Amino acid sequence: MTLDQLHIDSFKEGNRFEAKLAKGGIPNSIWETYSSFANTEGGLILLGVKESKDHTFSIAGIENHEQLVKAFWDGVNNKKVVNINILNNSDVEIKDIDGKQILAINVPRAERIYRPVYKGQDMFTGTYRRNGEGDYICSREEVAAIFRDAGQVTQDNKMVVEVALDTLCKETIRHYRQRFMLVHHGHVWNNLSDVDFLKKIGAAKINPENGKVYPTAAGLLMFGYNRKLCMSIRCISLIIKNILMRLRDGQTVLCRVRANGAATFLTSFSRFSTNFPKTLNVRLFWKE
């Protein structure tokens, strides 16, 4: 995560950004935001930033930043405060902006197996979700649904350890990021490196066994070269099903399925991004 190119005065508190003044130390409400970001789409928490009445932001700064950082790590690792710590050291940074220091906490979306992330020791009273600018407590039914989903790992979310991340098409990634910036102007992900961005959108994951980053099946389908995209037809069909559910209308996935059950995807994002149809289609071309 990097804040070097971010302009606080252009920020607007919303679905993935939360500002807190933190004059008296770590605010209690931070754990609700931590839970809601982790259970939704992730987000950025800035401590030492003041929101004005017109909803603009300015740097107020923090005092005793080392104590504040320690207090945060103590809290996020305390099972009585939150049930799990999903952060790495690089997710928590002290930044100097305009001569003042702020604490930036980048909360990723929690992996499916770690959700729900909740405040306190009771998931049914401490699980939050993010809607608009607010953190809202989940109903028992919503918590139960999250808990059920935690045991399911979809095909498109699986790491493809046989393929190195640097073999993905950099030009395709660049085009995708350009379109993302146009649609999500001012989004905090726009300032991430390509690797961190791919992790955010689910196109790459860290292998806990060796610490290396590999593409996911979804990332390979979106940004990979044709020669890397041979998989079993069962895996392909499951991935397409997830793409249909998770991608917005306006994208087409084309692949050729051979009689031996292998499938080669013929069209990458960069090839059809300039001429989106009105609806999402999956076209399968059989070749005997």
Please count the helices (runs of H) and the strands (runs of E) in the chain: 9, 14
- Per-residue tens of pLDDT for the chain, all 288 residues: 344 445 555 555 556 788 888 888 999 999 999 999 999 989 999 999 887 777 778 888 898 889 999 999 999 999 999 999 999 888 999 988 878 899 999 999 998 878 899 999 999 999 999 987 789 999 999 998 887 776 556 667 788 888 888 888 899 999 999 998 998 887 878 888 999 899 888 889 888 778 889 998 888 888 887 555 544 344 444 454 444 444 444 444 444 433 333 333 433 343 334 333 333 344 433 333
Tokens 């395709």, located at residue: 172
Strand, coil or helix: 12: coil
Peptide bond into 215 cis (omega under 30): no
Q: Under DSSP, is residue 104 helix (H, G, I), strand (E, B) or coil? A: strand
186: left (phi over 0), alpha (psi -120 to 50) or beta: left
| In the chain, alpha helices (H) | 30-39, 65-76, 123-126, 140-149, 170-183, 194-200, 217-223, 233-246, 269-272
0.85 exceeded by pTM: no
- Find residue 48's DSSP bridge partners: none
CA distances from 232 to 168, 194, 261, 262 (A): 20, 28, 6, 5
Look at domain 8-149 and name its CATH class. Answer: alpha beta
- Numbered ranges of CATH 3.30.950.30 in the chain: 8-149
Helix, strand, or coil (residue 119): strand
Separation of alpha carbons 79 and 85, rounded Å: 9
Query: In the 3-class helix/strand/coil scheme, how is 207-242 assigned residue by residue?
Result: CCCCCCEEEEHHHHHHHCCHHHCEEEHHHHHHHHHH
C-alpha span between 154 and 217 (Å, rounded): 10
